Amino acid sequence: MSFPNVFRGDKWYLTFSNIPTVTDRHDLRLFDNYIKSFTLPSYEMGEITSHGPLGMNVRHPVGGIKINDNLGPVSIDFKLSENMENYLYLFRWMLELKYGRLRDDYDGMIRKYYIDSLYLHLLDNQKRKTTNLKFTHVFLTNLSSLPLVFGSSPEVTFSGTFTYEEIVYSTSDPMSGGQEIESPDPDCQPGPLPLDTSATWSD
């Protein structure tokens, strides 16, 4: 990494471990490849204030308890696929949860009818992966409206708001697994080319 160097807003991508209504993993491309934008939520920690001598406020961070309380939701903007498949997969997921009737081959609890993990992969300016942020046990809580207008033909986008149980991260060295280029031999110096360029061929 060069110093100083800043992160660029387009050096990232998202992947979904699963979508509850998607049974063919090949269709996850309708989500991974149609993402337009992503908002990384704020991260907050509460404080408890007590009063000390002379009215001085003493602040105590709320640590060790309420670990995943008040987590900001994740917002993702998707481009609508031509047959509306990505929108309808998410719509069906919300519909099944709202009516309490999940897909026939699912035999688990309704509170576990979620996306196992949502991964945000951050890249450096050479597009090498440096950081992974993992959102666990993800639920879709809001699916936006679809703006459809006659006489206009732009790409249609929609957004989803997701909640999650925890957010964890890991980092990696972008140079890991690469080959280090050897420095040149100091005894090997450039010199004049030979004047005789003829060659003798032998059988």
CB neighbour list of residue 120: distance below 8 Å, 6 or more residues apart: 12, 14, 38, 40, 132, 133, 134, 135
**CATH code of the domain containing 80:** 2.30.110
Query: Could you read off the pLDDT of 108-144 as tens digits, one per residue?
Result: 899 999 999 999 999 988 888 889 999 999 999 999 9
Structural domain contains residue 4: no
Structural domain contains residue 137: yes
Predicted model pTM: 0.78
What's the number of domains the chain is made of? 1
Structural domain contains residue 8: no
The confidence score (pLDDT) of residue 175 equals 76
Structural domain contains residue 132: yes
In whole numbers, what is the pLDDT of the chain averaged over residues? 86
Structural domain contains residue 25: yes
Structural domain contains residue 106: yes
| Domain assignment of residue 98, given as a range | 19-42+54-171
Measure the CA–CA gap between 121 and 170, rounded to whole angstroms: 10
Query: Could you read off the pLDDT of 151-195 as tens digits, one per residue?
Result: 888 899 999 999 999 999 998 887 775 554 455 555 555 555 555
Structural domain contains residue 203: no
Give the per-residue SS3 of 131-153: EEEEEEEEEEEEECCCCCCCCCC
- Contact 71/163 with Cβ under 8 angstroms? yes
Structural domain contains residue 9: no
